[in-house]
Amino acid sequence: MAKVAILGFGVVGSGVAEVLARNGAHIGQKLHSNVELKYILDRRDFPDSPFSPRIIHDFDLIERDPEVEVVVETIGGAGAAKEFTLRALAAGKSVVTSNKELVAKHGYDLMKLAQEHNVSYLYEASVGGGIPIIRPLKQCLAANEITEICGILNGTTNYILTRMIRAGLSFDAALKEAQENGYAEADPTADVAGHDACRKICILASLAFGRHIYPEQVPTEGIDRVSLADVAYADACGRKIKLLGRAILEEDGKIQAFVAPHLIGGEVPLAGVEDVFNAIAVKGNAIGDVMFYGRGAGKLPTASAVVADVMDAVGRRDRPKFMDWGPGSKDVTADIRTLATRWYVRVRGEAGRALPERLDVERFLARSGAPTGETAFITKAPLTRGALDNALEGLEILSAFRVLED
C-alpha cells in the first residue's frame, strides 16, 4: 500500500484524484500494490466534491505523516510549490509534479535534494501533457547521443495559429476564440509570448544534453508578431507557421536552445500537428528521427502522466536514485547570434527588384489579396540574424521567421 497526498485541487490535481479513483483496480494490479489518496491540500473547501473528506489546509499534516510516501504537486509557479516540494523531499517523500516552471528553474537542485534523501522527483507531466516523452527520451538516450529536439510545445499558440490558417482569423480574433473555448487563460502572456514553450524546451534540453539549461539562457519569441499576412504567404506555398521550441547540439558541444515561430514545409511531420495538439521530434545518432504526438494539456491526459509517475515512484522505492542532469552554467548554451538558417521575410515596399543584389532569394511569395507595398520571400543561403539585417538595411522588416529544414 502506498499513500499519496495531492497539493492543489485545481484542474490537474482534481484530475489526478479522478484517475486514481477511476483506474484504481487497474493500477493496483499493474503495480502489484494499491495506491491510496490520503490528503488533498488546498486553501479552499470543496463541500460538494466526493473528495471533500480528504481536503486539508495545513501542509504540516502531510509533512509529518510517515504514511505519505508520494506527494503530487499540482500547484504551479515557483512560490508555495517550491517551499512544499523542498519540505516534502527533505521529509523523505517522493514528489511528482506537472509544474514546468519549477522544474525549468530549479530542477537540478530539487533532484539533488531528492537524491540525498533517496527519493524520486519526477516530472513527466511537465512537458507534453499526457504524451509519454520524458521516459521515452530517457530510453532513446540509453543507446543514442541526442543531436536535436524540436517541438510544438504549447497547445494554446498552436490552436491560435491553426485557426488563423484554417478560418482566416486575425491573431486577436483567434486568441479571443481560444479564450472562449477554455484553451487560453484570461492573461495569455505565458503562452502567447512563448514562456511556457521556453520552460518545456529547457526541461527537454536539460534531460537530453545532461546539463541544466535555465529559461534565461533561451532566447524566446512568441507568436504575437505573426500576422495573418504571414500565415497566408506560408499557406500559399504549401507551408505552415508554427511556434517551435528547439535545442540543437552544436559541434563544439554547446547547446543552441531557443523558442521562435518558424516556417515549416507541409511534408514535415510537425506540419500536420494542428489545434491544441503537441508533438516533439527527437533526433538521435542511432535512432534517426522519432516523434511523439498527443494532447499537450487537459485534465485527464496530464493527470494520467502524473499517475504514471506516482506508480514509478512507488515501484522504484528501494532502488538507488540517479540525477537526470548535471548543474548548469553560462557556457552550456551557444549564442543565438551565431545561428545561421534560411529565413522567411516580409518587408514593406516593392523591394522585389532590388533584393537579388543584396542577398540570394530562393523564391518570392505571393498570396491572394496581397496589398501592393509589401514583399515576402525566402532566402536561399543560411544567414545569421545579423547578416540578414545588414543585407536588408534601410528596408522595414515586417516579419522575419527562421525556416525549419527537413
Contact 217, 173 (CB under 8 A): no
Q: Are 7 and 13 in contact (CB under 8 A)?
A: yes
The answer to whether residue 290 forms part of the interface with its own copies (CB under 8 A) is: yes
C-alpha cell at 376: 515576402
Site string for its own copies, 222-261 (x = CB under 8 A): ----------------------------------------
Least distance from C-beta 404 to its own copies, angstroms?
A: 15
Please count the residues of this chain forming the interface with its own copies, following the rule CB under 8 A.
53
Among 304, 333, 341, 379, binds its own copies (CB under 8 A): 304
Taking CA atoms, 174 is separated from 5, 165, 170, 171, in Å, by 38, 10, 6, 5
Asked if 272 interacts with its own copies (CB under 8 A), we say yes
Q: Provide the residue type at 219 as one letter.
A: P
Q: How far is the CB of 273 from its own copies (least distance, A)?
A: 8
135 binds its own copies (CB under 8 A): yes
Q: Is 130 in the site for its own copies (CB under 8 A)?
A: yes
Q: Does 181 bind its own copies (CB under 8 A)?
A: no
Is residue 32 a contact residue for its own copies (CB under 8 A)? yes
Distance CA 36, CA 54 (A): 11
Task: State the cell numbers at 143.
Answer: 543507446
305 is an interface residue for its own copies by CB under 8 A: yes
d(CA 367, CA 80): 50
How many residues in total does the chain contain? 406
Q: Which of 93, 100, 105, 200 is catalytic?
A: 200
Nearer to its own copies, 103 or 271 (CB): 271
Pick 30 or 348: Cβ nearer its own copies: 30
**Exactly one of 27, 161, 244, 345 binds its own copies (CB under 8 A); which one?**
27
Among 118, 285, 338, 390, binds its own copies (CB under 8 A): 285
- 353 near its own copies, judged by CB under 8 A: no
| Of 186 and 286, CB closest to its own copies | 286
| Residue 300 lies near its own copies (rule: CB under 8 A) | yes
C-alpha pair distances (Å), 377 with each of 64, 117, 337, 394: 63, 56, 21, 17
CA angle 100, 323, 116 (to 5 degrees): 100
Q: Are residues 55 and 40 in contact, defined by beta-carbon separation less than 8 angstroms? A: yes
Q: Would you count residue 139 as binding its own copies (CB under 8 A)?
A: yes
Q: Classify residue 1 as exposed, middle or buried by CB count within 10 Å of its CB (0-12, 13-18, 19+).
A: exposed
Min dist CB 124 to its own copies, Å, is 8
Scan for cell 525549419, then name that residue. Answer: 404
Asked if 294 interacts with its own copies (CB under 8 A), we say: yes
Q: Contacting its own copies (CB under 8 A), which of 254, 274, 340, 349? A: 274
Rounded to whole angstroms, how far apart are CA atoms 1 and 61?
19
**Region from 1-9, 56-64, 91-99, 135-143 binding its own copies, contact rule CB under 8 A:** 135-143
Pairing of strands 277-284, 255-265: unpaired
CB of 279 within 8 A of CB of 292?
yes
| Pair 339, 384: CB distance under 8 Å | yes
Active site residue 105: no
d(CA 210, CA 141): 10
Q: Which residues are catalytic?
A: 200
Interface ranges with its own copies (CB under 8 A):
15, 19, 22-23, 26-27, 30-32, 124, 130-132, 135-136, 139-145, 267, 269, 271-274, 284-295, 298, 300-301, 303-308, 311-312, 319, 322
